[in-house]
């Protein structure tokens, strides 16, 4: 069983397999030591089971996209799951028809090679043919939505879509052609033999009526279908469609515990190709929403790195970002964009990343704080002394002895340096701070600044508990160490990026606010909260660009008409206080005022 039209398809499949295997081999070889060790340890572990479930849920059903927007999820699901089932049922058809075995392409071009199956084949054949047609219809519904999205994306929940380059567009064209061409090819066969399910048969009748029931026409449609498949498969490894297979691997590696390191590794290469360039990261980005800068979002960063764009362009893209983390929480593939951005930034600042500057911090003495809580206000709390003062009151009310670690001079936690890719300098600063904390023998570290909290929690690896003051106050209230009298004020709470999306602390500050006042919900909160515009992640933004971002966050907070805005970050407080008719207070201040004496 052979016809010349199967050649483009077969060549495409061979090209896809060879190039993909070479690429994956090349990437796996670039895993760093830690990643290699994790793969070796976990490759045959039970982690395969949850990975398999996630692969099914995300690669085929597109569950996270569905949660983002139902119709958009339906579009992706119908194309991915629909096509997958078409292939599977196609193989079932071929297996039923040829129990003794067949060439693999027979399953793809089944109706051509076995035109009499629905008429004289086994009893299951008509059912399978109808099923195939139903699946094709399912794919068509997704295809229609995809074409609609190309011209009018709003009904699918997207204000902006990604701008693709030429190869991506050619591959997309080939993909869009595959399914109509399949229907036409099967219809042409049906016009001669009268086979196929409800859809194909109807198509066949139509083609018969307009005089297309001709073996030459039939052959040409099958050739076009095969060509579309061949072109798509050949282009796949070089376009965004590489995500189809790469996401499967990425999910497995992530389940094994692999994460991005400070330099570009094999895992990063998998992440780069797992990005489907769906563009969901664009709409949430504050730089897009408020400044209309639409070429720096996660999708364009990954695209620029993968396509090896001009050095300066990658630098500009990587720098113009607030590091608010909104894109990473919305990414349906779960790509962590912050470390990738940091890698690019580090590449561009490696000449100035030298460690000789912070020797002066060696003169900072530690303090014997046995049995005390070490309180780290953070740099910004020096500009908002009301927060540290409120914390001191709370410590005293709870009868907890404390040591204000950065009360005299400001020590930086190192995260601002880390965000800029100054990795070595950040490490030096961390080592100096770690020494001070260890020497003090404090029982717990409480910090008022979410930026510090994030790095103390994730990068310091301290052997004492690290708490943000919202968590600490929540703990004091629950243990009855402090009693609070609710004030009755109506309060909206602003989620700081670093605390919410960065560390997943959403509930504790809300408990605290709800204990001291009446908490009002806002439109965009928790993981969808808006950046205050003053996040330290961006050193190339100007203040006139920061203010629109801040104003958007304020509009959201002022919408329920509150008496007071609460936040849990000295930086956000400072940012939101300016140009605002409603007072802004840190949750520590709110609590300190309401403590029952």
Partner 1 sequence: MNRFGFQISTARSIDLDRADAKLRQRLLEAVPSYRYCIGCGGCTATCSAGAFTDFNIRKTHFLFSRGEVDKLSPTPMPDVDLNKCMLCGKCTLVCPRGVNTRGLIMQMRQLLVNKQS
CB within 8 Å of 560: residues ≥ 6 apart: 490, 492, 520, 521, 522
Q: Does position 542 bind partner 1 by CB under 8 A?
A: yes
Q: Is 529 helix (H, G, I), strand (E, B) or coil?
A: coil
Cβ atoms of 445 and 471 within 8 Å: the answer is no
Could you tell me the smallest distance in angstroms from the CB atom of residue 416 to partner 1? 4
Q: Report the nearest approach of partner 1 to the CB of residue 574 (Å).
A: 6
Q: Does position 293 bind partner 1 by CB under 8 A? A: no
Residues in 337-356 at the binding interface with partner 1, rule: CB under 8 A: 349, 351-352, 354, 356
Q: Is 318 in the site for partner 1 (CB under 8 A)?
A: no
Owner of token pair 């790195």: 305
End-to-end CA distance of the chain: 90
- Range in contact with partner 1 (rule: CB under 8 A) among 10-18, 157-165, 418-426, 506-514: 418-426
420 is a contact residue toward partner 1 (CB under 8 A): yes
Q: Which is nearer to partner 1, 349 or 475 (CB)?
A: 349
| Residue 288: half-sphere exposure toward Cβ, Cα within 13 Å | 23
**Residue 284 Cβ vs partner 1, minimum distance, rounded to whole Å:** 24
List the x/- string, 422-451, binding to partner 1 by CB under 8 A. x--x---x----------------------
Nearer residue to partner 1 within complex by CB, 259 or 578: 578
Q: What is the DSSP letter of 404?
A: E
**Residue 67 binds partner 1 (CB under 8 A):** no
| Residue among 461, 544, 581, 596 that touches partner 1 (CB under 8 A) | 544
Please, what sign has the CA dihedral across residues 568, 570, 572, 577? positive
Kindly write out the interface string for residues 499-538 of this chain, putting x where it contacts partner 1 by CB under 8 A and - elsewhere: -----------------------------------x-x--
Return the structure tokens found at 522.
């806002």
Write the binding mask 167 to 186 for partner 1: x where contact by CB under 8 A, - elsewhere.
Answer: --------------------
Q: How far apart are CA 488 and CA 89, in angstroms?
A: 63
CB atoms within 10 A of CB 342: 22
- Report which DSSP code applies to 410: P
Per CB under 8 A, 312 contacts partner 1: no
Burial of residue 310, with CB atoms counted within 10 A of its CB: 0-12 exposed, 13-18 middle, 19 or more buried: exposed
Supply the minimum distance, in Å, between the C-beta of residue 348 and partner 1: 9
Question: For partner 1, what does the binding mask look like between residues 466 and 505, x meaning CB under 8 A?
Answer: ----------------------------------------
As measured in angstroms, the least distance from the Cβ of 480 to partner 1 is: 37
The Cα–Cα gap between 296 and 293 comes to: 7
Q: Judged by CB under 8 A, does residue 414 bind partner 1?
A: yes
Residue 597, class by beta-carbon neighbours within 10 Å (0-12 exposed, 13-18 middle, 19+ buried)? Answer: exposed
Residue 574 is a binding residue for partner 1 (CB under 8 A): yes
Q: Which of 41, 104, 540, 560 touches partner 1 by CB under 8 A?
A: 540
Which residues, in sequence order, are bridge partners of residue 232? none
Q: Distance (Å, rounded) from C-alpha 204 to C-alpha 220?
A: 15
* Residue 379 in contact with partner 1, rule: CB under 8 A: yes
CB atoms within 10 A of CB 267: 25
Residue 442 near residue 416 (C-beta atoms within 8 A): no
CB closer to partner 1 out of 431 and 518: 431
Q: Which of 131, 364, 464, 527 is close enough to bind partner 1 by CB under 8 A?
A: 364
Q: Counting contacts by CB under 8 A, is residue 17 touching partner 1?
A: no
Q: Which is nearer to partner 1, 61 or 364 (CB)?
A: 364
Beta sheet of 402-404, edge-to-edge order = 402-404, 373-376, 444-447, 466-468
Minimum CB distance to partner 1 smaller for 254 or for 415: 415
Among 215, 357, 465, 504, binds partner 1 (CB under 8 A): 357
The nearer residue to partner 1, 364 or 503, going by C-beta atoms, is: 364
Closer residue to partner 1 (CB): 50 or 409: 409
Q: Which run of H or of E encompasses 446?
A: strand 444-447
Least Å from the CB of residue 410 to partner 1: 4
Interacting span for partner 1 (CB under 8 A) from 129-137, 150-158, 331-339, 408-416: 408-416
Q: For residues 539-548, b (16+ Cβ closer than 10 Å) or e, as one string?
A: eebeeebbbe
Q: C-beta of 527: minimal distance to partner 1 in Å?
A: 25
**Closest listed residue to residue 292, CA positions, set 189, 395, 159:** 159
Which range of residues in 61-69, 177-185, 481-489, 539-547 is near partner 1 by CB under 8 A?
A: 539-547
The phi, psi pair for 494, rounded to 5°, reads -95, 120
Nearest to 186 by CA among 233, 143, 129: 129
CB 573 within 8 A of CB 387: yes
Residue written as tokens 């070796």? 40
Q: Is residue 385 within the footprint of partner 1 (CB under 8 A)?
A: no
Instruction: Kindly calculate the radius of gyration of the chain based on its CA atoms and give it in whole angstroms.
Output: 29
The binding site for partner 1 (CB under 8 A) comprises 349, 351-352, 354, 356-358, 360-361, 363-364, 379-380, 382-383, 409-412, 414, 416-417, 420, 422, 425, 429, 534, 536, 539-544, 571, 574
């Amino acid at each position: 069983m052979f016809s010349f039209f199967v050649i483009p398809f077969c060549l495409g499949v061979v090209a896809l397999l060879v190039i993909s295997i070479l690429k994956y081999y090349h990437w796996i070889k670039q895993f760093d030591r830690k990643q290699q060790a994790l793969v070796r340890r976990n490759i045959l572990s039970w982690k395969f089971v949850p990975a398999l479930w996630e692969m099914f849920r995300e690669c085929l059903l597109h569950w996270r996209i569905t949660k983002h927007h139902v119709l958009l999820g339906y579009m992706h699901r119908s194309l991915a799951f629909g096509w997958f089932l078409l292939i599977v049922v196609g193989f079932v058809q071929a297996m039923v028809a040829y129990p003794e075995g067949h060439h693999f392409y027979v399953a793809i071009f089944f109706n051509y090679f076995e035109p009499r199956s629905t008429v004289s084949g086994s009893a299951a054949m008509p059912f399978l043919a109808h099923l195939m047609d139903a699946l094709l219809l399912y794919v068509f519904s997704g295809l229609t939505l995809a074409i609609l999205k190309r011209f009018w994306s709003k009904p699918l929940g997207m204000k902006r879509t990604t701008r693709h380059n030429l190869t991506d567009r050619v591959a997309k064209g080939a993909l869009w052609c595959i399914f109509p061409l399949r229907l036409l090819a099967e219809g042409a066969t049906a016009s001669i033999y009268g086979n196929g399910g409800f859809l194909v048969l109807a198509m066949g009748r139509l083609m018969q009526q307009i005089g297309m029931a001709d073996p030459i026409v039939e052959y040409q449609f099958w050739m076009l279908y095969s060509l579309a498949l061949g072109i798509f498969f050949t282009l796949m490894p070089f376009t965004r469609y590489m995500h189809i297979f790469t996401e499967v691997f990425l999910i497995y590696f992530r389940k094994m515990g692999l994460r991005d390191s400070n330099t570009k590794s094999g895992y990063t290469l998998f992440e780069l190709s797992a990005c489907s360039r769906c563009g969901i990261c664009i709409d949430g980005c504050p730089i897009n929403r408020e400044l209309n800068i639409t070429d720096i979002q996660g999708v364009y960063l990954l695209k620029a790195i993968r396509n090896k764009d001009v050095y300066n362009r990658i630098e500009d893209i990587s720098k113009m970002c607030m590091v608010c983390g909104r894109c990473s929480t919305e990414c349906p593939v779960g790509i962590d964009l912050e470390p990738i951005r940091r890698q690019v930034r580090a590449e561009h600042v490696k000449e100035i990343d030298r460690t000789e500057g912070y020797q002066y911090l060696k003169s900072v003495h530690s303090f014997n704080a046995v049995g005390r809580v070490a309180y780290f206000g953070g740099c910004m709390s020096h500009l908002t002394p009301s927060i540290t003062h409120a914390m001191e009151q709370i410590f005293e009310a709870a009868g907890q002895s404390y040591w204000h670690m950065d009360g005299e001079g400001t020590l930086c936690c190192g995260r601002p340096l880390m965000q800029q890719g100054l990795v070595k300098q950040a490490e030096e600063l961390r080592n100096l701070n770690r020494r001070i904390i260890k020497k003090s023998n404090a029982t717990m570290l409480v910090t008022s600044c979410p930026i510090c909290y994030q790095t103390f929690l994730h990068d310091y690896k301290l052997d004492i508990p690290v708490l943000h003051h919202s968590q600490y106050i929540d703990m004091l209230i629950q243990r009855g160490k402090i009693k609070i009298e609710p004030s009755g004020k109506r309060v909206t709470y602003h989620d700081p990026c670093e605390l919410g999306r960065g560390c997943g602390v959403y509930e504790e500050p809300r408990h605290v606010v709800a204990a001291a006042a009446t908490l009002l919900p806002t439109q965009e909160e928790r993981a969808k909260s808006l950046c205050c515009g003053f996040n330290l992640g961006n050193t190339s933004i100007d203040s006139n660009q920061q203010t629109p971002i801040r104003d958007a966050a304020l509009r959201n907070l002022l919408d329920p008409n509150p008496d007071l805005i609460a936040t849990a970050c000295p930086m956000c407080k400072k940012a939101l206080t300016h140009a605002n008719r409603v007072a802004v207070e840190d949750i520590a201040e709110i609590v300190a005022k309401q403590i029952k004496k």
